[in-house]
Structure 1
């Protein structure tokens, strides 16, 4: 499992700007409602998950409702389009950058500038997408459960999960996107608290980076995450925990 994932999770808790996260989730809510035409979270699973995420960062209820109404066309709102940029970071790391933007030119220029500044290169469409697979990913913090790995695995596999990856801090369950909701429901009904649940791009293989390459990769991802247009950043970077801790310090 790419050890960078642990860094990403900790960064989200420790230093992500709350307003930045609210802007991103608000855009995602608008885009989801506009794309599906379904504004009731009880009948739109993805929208329901976005509302849960919004509440988890204390996004005001009025803001959530306003984003839903903008997506439904009940209030005037910006028109956002989804764009995926691809490229390579230092050390040959594959990078996918998913954006929701109302200005393609601005987003493209800013993403390219970030790649260049951190010794990477923005590539053509599909230059690295083949290195990733779309998977449902559910995370259970080991500190939040008394169950052992075998017990969690059996519950997940019986519900249709593909794999369980155990680390010191967490259990990560991977599913096919079509099985994601069923597995999540089964885990919750079994009493497990899920700390993160999303359909994400998971790398098929990882690339280990060290030294300046690792430092520049982390700075690149931080810059992308600070950009309101960027909704998700996926990489196949792997970094040793010791080096990660030193870079974070």
Structure 2
């Protein structure tokens, strides 16, 4: 798992996600709205919308709120028009960062993203400078151990490795990898929901399904000071209201990550 994914997992475990629930809801609703605008409001015909819809449901966004977002996206209800923009840059150590944004004001957001990179010790790059290092993928997260009573996994069993691999690969998944207390199932972006549905149909619990930009090659971080600088850039960008996701091509050992997180 790349370093940015590990960092997101640690922050969630420490409760940061709960503290930012209002901001998370706003980002998820915006993603649903844009997906509906770009591909229509039919969940069966719009794979991206199906993924964003389920992601919102996984995070307890109310159904009527999601449905209103779809209607705003299709023009049935009046709403703000958001534009999808990506920004590329570098954190200390040459770590490449790809930033996915939905904004109603490109000039304002562009200026703010540049400022965030600079203040956190990174630098904004020209379009295309790092995008080639990332590939659009779908990720389905499955618990590898029995969840806590208040865990977010859907109902179902916790599978063994052979069971999950058989079901996932038959459904079109590309890879199944163990990451601590979870399995990470990777698929082509358009196959994400089909893989998720096959897993749940087999009676296996699913924690989440999402679209991501996966780095093709990773830079190993071994210095605590450099790792902290990279995390500072990552956190600053991720905290921006218009930023939907930050993706980076670094890796870091679990022990070093836990040390700097503490």
Normalising to structure 2: TM-score of the pair? 0.87
Summarize the Cα distance change of 1:90–1:24 in structure 2 as closer, same or farther, 3 Å threshold: same
CA contact 2:176–2:185 (8 Å) conserved in 1: yes
What is the alpha-carbon distance in structure 2 between the residues aligned to residue 178 and residue 82 of structure 1? 18
Q: Which whole-Å deviations, capped at 9, do the CAs of 1:56-98 have from their partners, x for residues lacking one? A: 3333344323322221222221111010000111111110001
Following the alignment from structure 1 to structure 2, what is the Cα–Cα distance between the partners of residues 60 and 147? 29
Runs of 4+ in 1 over 3 A off after TM superposition: 40-45, 55-58
Determine whether 1:65 maps to 2:67.
Answer: yes
1:99 to 98, 101, 121: 101
Cα RMSD for the two superposed structures: 1.9
**1:51 alignment partner in structure 2:** 53
Matches within 5 A, 1:13-92: 14-16=15-17, 17-36=20-39, 38-92=40-94
Query: Counterparts of 2:112 and 2:204 in 1: how far apart (Å)?
Result: 40
**Which of 186, 202, 207 is the equivalent residue of 1:195?**
207
Distance 1:81 1:178 in 2: 21
Q: Which residue of 2 aligns with 1:246?
A: 259
- In structure 1, which of residues 205, 209, 231 is the aligned counterpart of residue 217 of structure 2? 205
Give the secondary structure class of the aligned counterpart of 1:202.
strand
Residue equivalent to 2:182: 170
1:182-222 per-position Cα deviation (integer Å, ceiling 9, x unaligned): 32222111111121212211111111222222112212222
Residues 119-158 of structure 1 correspond to what in structure 2 (within 5 A)? Answer: 119-144=121-146, 145-158=157-170
Stretches of structure 2 that go unaligned for 5 or more consecutive residues are 147-156
Check whether the contact 2:144–2:181 (CA below 8 A) recurs between aligned residues.
Answer: yes
Q: 1:51 to 1:135 in 2, by over 3 A?
A: closer
CA distance in 1, matches of 2:176, 2:121: 34
After superposition, the Cα gap between the structure-2 partners of 1:135 and 1:238, relative to the gap in structure 1 and judged at 3 Å, is same
Change (3 A) 1:5 1:72: same
Secondary structure of the 2:184 match is strand
Cα distance in 2 between the residues matched to 1:190 and 1:138: 14
Indicate if the aligned counterparts of 1:4 and 1:239 stay in contact, CA closer than 8 A: no
Quick one: distance in 1 between partners of 2:162 and 2:3?
A: 22
Q: Which SS does the other structure have where 1:100 is aligned? A: strand
C-alpha distance in 1 between matches for 2:6 and 2:81? 34
Q: Secondary structure at the match of 1:182?
A: helix
